[in-house]
Amino acid sequence: MFKLSQKVKSLPPYLFLEIDKAKRKARQEGRDIVDLGVGDPDQPTPSHIIDRLYQAASDPLTHRYALDQGLLGLRQAIAKWYNNRFRVKLNPETEILPLIGSKEGIAHFPLAFLNEGDYTLVPDPSYPPYKGGTILAGGRPYLIPLKEENKFLPDLKKIPFNIRRKAKLMYINYPNNPTGATAEIDFYREVVDFAKKNKIIVISDLAYSEIAYNGYRPSSLLEVAGAKDVTIEFHSLSKTYNMTGWRIGWASGNAQLVSALAKVKSNIDSGIFSAIQLAGITALEGPQQHIKDICQLYQERRDTLIAGLQSLGWQASPPKAAFYVWLKIPKKTDTSASLSVGGEHSRATDSIKFSALLLEKAGIVVTPGIGFGKYGEGYIRMALTISKERIQEAIERLRRIL
């Protein structure tokens, strides 16, 4: 009866809902499911941050509308954190905007700059809101394949000149979800150079900068000299402090870009619950030991998973950062399992069939690569957000079925 807008109709199918459905069904049937699918930390938020929330929430001053631009104290804590972590100086008055989780900012940002038909350069595979935000703003995603032979970095030289002219935005995300790839400062320099030459705004998604292994320290794109002329960077407390459900993140960088996003948002939301902002300050300024602890934990899980997969003859290499293992589907598998994963809109591709097979035959949930875009096809993603014991269980089950 109701006709969806062209924009909503153009959104890619949200595969993850379908996977959730299949997973719930399997659980209802009483099956023991090993869930390597969710990119959501399994550890709790550190208790000093929770304590601060309790305390702040009992103060009636936090019960009113928050300021759209976020508490000054939070913006100052973010500026201090950026300077300590990356030696990047940010003005808390003009260059930082707290967000209700970085996803909303990432998805709303295109509304500030795209006109109907403008292009956004979107890496593929990638986090779904890059495409979704572009389409909802009336723009067109131009997909840049992230290929294994190029270490899952976009090959900027290959972007056609007519597209460069029509592109207003480009998304960059390292450490990368879903591939686990990382970027070094030389690549970031190339990005800034490309963006300046072609008058393109760079949207850098830095959600995983603190989740890294063996002492590796990811860089911020804003570390590049002159990057701030063209860049807005998104970060979040979600992964660093196990706070995905709290919804708090921020945008920082070029003042004009930050204020344009603020203008869009002032028409959509009314800020982050002040008690959560106060707890956010505590997160950034309090003890940081638990970050080392969770990285150690993910690292052990990573090593268990990689060693297990290799023992099965699977080609797998350990990511330096983020908590995902991105795997090529092994060639000779019978992928005839039938599951309605993918919904009506999408054909069952190899990655969907293989994921369905793992669920059906082994009770293992993974994310099919196509859920992150067409160039993700042929891969699956496993997340390191379950215990080492459960990862070992998954390996044993794989050994039995493969």
Ligand X SMILES: *Cc1c(COP(=O)(O)O)cnc(C)c1O
- Is 375 in contact with 148 (CB distance < 8 Å)? no
Sign of the CA dihedral with 260 first, then 276, 322, and 89 last:
positive
Residue 101 interacts with ligand X (CB under 6 A): yes or no: yes
Distance CA 70, CA 247 (A): 13
Residues 108, 131, 239, 390: which binds ligand X (CB under 6 A)?
A: 239
DSSP string, 54-98: HHHHTSGGGGSPPPTT--HHHHHHHHHHHHHHH-----TTTSEEE
Q: At what angle do helices 274-285 and 47-57 cross, to 10 degrees?
A: 150
Under the binding rule (CB under 6 A), the answer on residue 244 touching ligand X is yes
Of the pair 101, 139, the CB lying nearest ligand X is at: 101
Interface map 164-203 toward ligand X (x if CB under 6 A) = ---------x---x--------------------------
Smaller CB separation from ligand X, 95 or 104: 104
String marking each residue 14-43 x if it binds ligand X according to CB under 6 A = -------------------------x----
Q: Which residue of 120, 204, 209, 238 would you call a contact of ligand X, by CB under 6 A?
A: 238
Interacting residues of 48 by C-beta distance below 8 A, sequence separation 6+: 282, 286, 287
Residue 38 and residue 132: Cα distance in Å, rounded? 20
Comparing CB distances to ligand X, the nearer of 173 and 220 is 173
Q: Does 139 bind ligand X (CB under 6 A)?
A: no
Q: Nearest approach, Cβ of 393 to ligand X (angstroms)?
A: 25
What is the length of the chain? 402
- Asked if omega into 60 is within 30° of 0 (cis), the reply is no
Instruction: Name the one range near ligand X by CB under 6 A: 101-109, 195-203, 276-284, 371-379.
Output: 101-109
Is 390 near ligand X (CB under 6 A)? no
Q: How deeply is 336 buried, as exposed, middle or buried, from its count of CB atoms within 10 A (0-12, 13-18, 19+)? A: exposed
318 cis-preceded (ω within 30 degrees of 0)? no
Q: Which is nearer to ligand X, 194 or 234 (CB)?
A: 234
Q: Which stretch binds ligand X (CB under 6 A): 63-71, 98-106, 214-222, 280-288?
A: 98-106
**Residue 124 makes contact with ligand X by CB under 6 A:** no
CB closer to ligand X, 207 vs 356: 207
120 binds ligand X (CB under 6 A): no
Backbone phi, then psi, for 178, in 5-degree steps?
A: -100, -5
> CA 67 to CA 2: how far, in whole Å?
37
Give the nearer residue to ligand X in terms of CB position, either 133 or 308. 133
Our CB check for ligand X shows the closer of 132 and 249 to be 249
Question: Given the complex with ligand X, which of 102 and 304 has the nearer CB atom?
Answer: 102
Considering the rule CB under 6 A, would residue 205 count as an interface residue with ligand X?
yes
Give the integer Cα–Cα distance in Å for 231 and 241. 25
Binding ligand X (rule: CB under 6 A), the pick from 102, 219, 240, 242 is 102
Measured over the CA atoms of residue 376, residue 378, residue 380 and residue 381, the dihedral's sign is negative
Q: Give the shortest CB-380-to-ligand X separation in angstroms.
A: 16
Q: Are 229 and 254 in contact (CB under 8 A)?
A: yes
Q: How far apart are CA 45 and CA 95, in angstroms?
A: 27
**Residue 376 interacts with ligand X (CB under 6 A): yes or no:** no
Does 127 interact with ligand X (rule: CB under 6 A)?
Answer: yes
Identity of the residue, 20 or 360, whose beta carbon is nearer to ligand X in the bound complex: 20
Distances (CA, A) of 289 to 213, 237, 240, 249: 15, 15, 11, 20
Does 236 bind ligand X (CB under 6 A)? Our answer is yes
Residue 302: HSE in the Cβ half-sphere, 13 Å Cα cutoff: 21
Q: Which stretch binds ligand X (CB under 6 A): 75-83, 179-187, 236-244, 292-300?
A: 236-244
Among 9-17, 232-240, 342-350, 368-376, the segment contacting ligand X (CB under 6 A): 232-240
Pick from 46, 133, 249, 271 the residue near ligand X by CB under 6 A.
249
Measured from the CB atom, is 86 or 234 closer to ligand X?
A: 234
Q: Among 390, 399, 401, 350, which residue's Cα sits nearest to residue 37? A: 390
Binding site for ligand X (CB under 6 A): 39, 101-103, 127, 173, 177, 205, 207, 236, 238-239, 244, 249
